[in-house]
Amino acid sequence: MSIALLVIDTQAALFDPAPRPADADAVIARIDALAARARAAGAAVVFVQHEQAEDSGGPLVHASPGWQLQSGLQVDEESDAFVRKTTPDAFLRTDLADKLLGCGATELVVCGYATEFCVDTTVRRAAALGFPVTLASDAHTTHDKPHAGADAIRTHHNATLPSLKSFGTPIRAVPAEAIDFVPAAPAPVPPVLTK
């Protein structure tokens, strides 16, 4: 059993222009701390980057300055894995599942941007695929929206995602500092009684 850290869409075009996401610098610092602990524990660190079509003219065209990871992130180019995606679901039409299987990941820690889009969708999909998920409750963020501020959006998702029980795999929201990258012990197997 192994845990992998998924860092979703922490890209320059999403974090650097004003207005920045809520608590952007603190979120990046917490992600860096999570990644350092994951690497020290031998856990996989996977950076997921959203990209737009080349003809879109958008800021997230592959290899453009805005597509790059936010400059404050501590990245290990040799040991970290990288996944390119085009939808809010980091699993859809990507090689993420193969990378996770390849490193033996059975549990996920998720952090990044944007709480109500790619973080939410990926957490739900991971649980549907059978991965227990820990959402780093203070290491995901978003921008204020007309209908709700970023803090309210994050609070809402930290409360609602763990309440989803129908997937049959647990989702929990835990502050980044409390995440240790030691897999949960498997449930004890009851003894087989014979006469």
Q: Which residues are catalytic?
A: 118
C-alpha distance from residue 120 to each of 8, 42, 52, 115, 127 (Å): 10, 26, 20, 6, 11
Identity of the residue numbered 183: P
> Is omega for the bond preceding 19 within 30 degrees of 0, making it cis?
yes
CB 43 within 8 Å of CB 161: no
As a whole number of angstroms, the distance between CA 149 and CA 142 comes to: 9
Tally of CB atoms within 10 A around 79: 10
As a whole number of angstroms, the distance between CA 114 and CA 11 comes to: 11
